[in-house]
Chains A and B, each alone.
Chain A
């Protein structure tokens, strides 16, 4: 057992876990943050994507101990109160989800993509960079549309800050 100290969605947490605990298990089973999903559990599908220190990673492929001392953002940490994050709003407006299982991971990856590319996003880049996120429902079309829409909204929001 080890004590893992993290900042999760802005809050400091300290959790005692077995050393073999995965970050996704810590988030879901110990902190009840069940928005982060486990789809494949084999590092392929991206449903478990969260941000560690601002970077998108597959939380099913990181030991909780590896994240000790880091700052984690999950899907629950994106909205500001009742106000959805522009990426969440764009997914809703563009019908970017059907069953919603892949959506938290898609959104966390998408926010990371927009952050890295700023407003310079085109469809080909979005499709290439979403390769690590699998969706069984939508056929991706509306997901890509949502990300491009959100990229525009995030640029406007950034410019306003």
Chain B
């Protein structure tokens, strides 16, 4: 790891000010993406600004039809929250499938969304549920937030403060995990909003990160049943192809995971 300067911020404003002062600063939340990358010397921030102890960034609120998870809330807290399990069981289940217990104790929702790993789980939930990503500057709809591999609408120095998920009528998540890392080889989040709108988000499969599947959305809108996905043809163009699976394999996984997600949603 290159040398760096560690700072612990106690408020969002202080974090933003420390960021502005640093030459090449980076925020640090759970560190379970950033620290491995720094250890490989693929990143060498002059300053790391720890957000994890900022009180206003940690916690979960369920009010009416909205579940709000503050940015520095660890995956474990989301998975363990009774309120989340009651309001959006699929979100709770998704959080419980990230990595392993030690990863879930540290990794945060804000870090996961800011990083936008093409195989991460939370982007699929944010996209399918039509979440709103709140920052210290504005609110961004999930549809406008994800901009391809490891890239988002966040501006330099902008801090995610919370993510708001509308409570759906039904939702389910199914992932085929990579057996070693637990990241999604392909994961599908299906959601039927209270308005009847259906959104299906796929992670792990596309070369350009999390994406929606219009074909599966149309099929499920017509008939919310796992069997409705049988006849859908999912194109393998633009899908990842690597030692873990070809693009055709992933295209098939999208259908299978979508069906399992619908079954889980009930």
Interface residues of A (CB under 8 A from B): 2, 18-20, 22, 41-44, 46, 49, 52, 55-58, 61-63, 65-66, 68, 109, 112-113, 116, 129-133
Chain B residues closer than 8 Å to A41, beta-carbon distance: 39
Q: Which of B1-31 contact A (CB under 8 A)?
A: 1-6, 8, 28, 31
- Whether the Cβ atoms of B102 and A19 lie closer than 8 Å is no
- Whether the Cβ atoms of A132 and B31 lie closer than 8 Å is no
- Whether the Cβ atoms of A44 and B105 lie closer than 8 Å is no
Chain B residues closer than 8 Å to A132, beta-carbon distance: 99-103
Q: Measured between alpha carbons, how far is A19 from B38 in the docked complex, in Å?
A: 13
**Chain B 76-97, CB within 8 Å of chain A: the 1/0 string?**
1000000000000000000000
Chain A residues closer than 8 Å to B105, beta-carbon distance: 52, 55-57
Q: Does B212 contact A (CB under 8 A)?
A: no
- Give 18 new A-B contacts, CB below 8 A, not counting A42-B39, A43-B103: A18-B3, A19-B4, A19-B6, A20-B1, A22-B35, A41-B39, A43-B36, A55-B76, A57-B106, A58-B102, A58-B103, A61-B35, A61-B36, A62-B106, A63-B28, A65-B50, A112-B101, A130-B100
Chain B residues closer than 8 Å to A20, beta-carbon distance: 1-4, 38
- Whether the Cβ atoms of B102 and A65 lie closer than 8 Å is no
Chain B residues closer than 8 Å to A46, beta-carbon distance: 100, 102
Chain B residues closer than 8 Å to A44, beta-carbon distance: 180-181
Chain A residues closer than 8 Å to B8, beta-carbon distance: 65-66, 68
- Whether the Cβ atoms of B102 and A66 lie closer than 8 Å is no
- Whether the Cβ atoms of A61 and B31 lie closer than 8 Å is yes
Q: What are 26 A-B pairs with beta-carbon distances under 8 A?
A: A2-B6, A19-B6, A19-B48, A22-B35, A42-B39, A43-B36, A46-B100, A49-B102, A52-B105, A57-B102, A57-B106, A58-B103, A58-B106, A61-B106, A63-B28, A63-B35, A66-B31, A66-B50, A66-B52, A68-B8, A109-B101, A113-B101, A131-B100, A132-B101, A132-B102, A133-B100
Q: Measured between alpha carbons, how far is A22 from B35 in the docked complex, in Å?
A: 9
Q: Does B32 contact A (CB under 8 A)?
A: yes
**Central interface residue in A20, A109, A113, by most chain B CB within 10 Å:** A20
Q: Measured between alpha carbons, how far is A116 from B102 in the docked complex, in Å?
A: 12
Smallest beta-carbon distance B57→chain A, Å: 15
- Whether the Cβ atoms of A62 and B31 lie closer than 8 Å is yes
Q: Does B221 contact A (CB under 8 A)?
A: no
Q: Which of B27-61 contact A (CB under 8 A)?
A: 28, 31-32, 35-36, 38-39, 48, 50, 52
